[in-house]
């Protein structure tokens, strides 16, 4: 199992929209490295949902429920999507400032590559982030 962080602009599609819908196609990814990460996702992988914009915080947990496949809207071989489903809202959202202040996250791609919309999360970071959000 792999762990991820998926960024979304909450005014466009928030974690609460995902909870309401139950599942969705995770699309709109353009960056080559983010698309590479999407291509390695497998059903059963877990992802932290991170609200961008003014919120800048981890708000929920989702599960990858499909293999990557060609974006059905764009129908371009290079553009892939995955299906995700809501798992749970975190108990204590953690914002970007808190993550930046914690020296344990020095090498976290969320901080190193801030424009990347799909970020791998090591198991160590995953467990620590769940602890910080009081979510297990």
Residues 93, 58: contact at Cβ < 8 Å? yes
* Closest of 41, 44, 15 to residue 29, by C-alpha: 41
Where in the chain are the domains?
3-132
88-105 pLDDT, tens digit per residue, is 999 999 999 999 999 999
Question: In sequence order, what E strands does the chain have?
Answer: 3-8, 23-26, 46-51, 57-64, 69-70, 80-95, 118-121
Q: Which pTM does this prediction carry? A: 0.96
What is the domain class of 3-132 according to CATH?
alpha beta
How many C-beta atoms surround the C-beta of residue 91 within 10 A? Answer: 10
59-82 pLDDT, tens digit per residue, is 999 999 999 999 999 988 899 999
């Amino acid at each position: 199992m792999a762990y991820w962080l998926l960024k979304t602009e909450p005014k466009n599609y928030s974690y609460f929209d995902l909870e309401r819908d139950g599942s969705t196609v995770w699309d709109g990814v353009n960056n080559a490295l983010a698309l590479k990460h999407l291509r390695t996702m497998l059903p059963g992988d877990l992802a932290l949902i991170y609200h961008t914009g003014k919120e800048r915080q981890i708000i929920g947990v989702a599960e990858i429920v499909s293999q990557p496949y060609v974006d059905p809207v764009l129908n371009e071989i290079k553009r892939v999507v995955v299906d995700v489903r809501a798992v749970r809202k975190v108990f204590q959202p953690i914002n970007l400032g808190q993550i930046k202040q914690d020296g344990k996250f020095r090498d976290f791609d969320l901080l190193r590559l801030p424009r990347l919309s799909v970020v791998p999360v090591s198991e160590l970071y995953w467990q620590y982030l769940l602890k910080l959000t009081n979510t297990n």
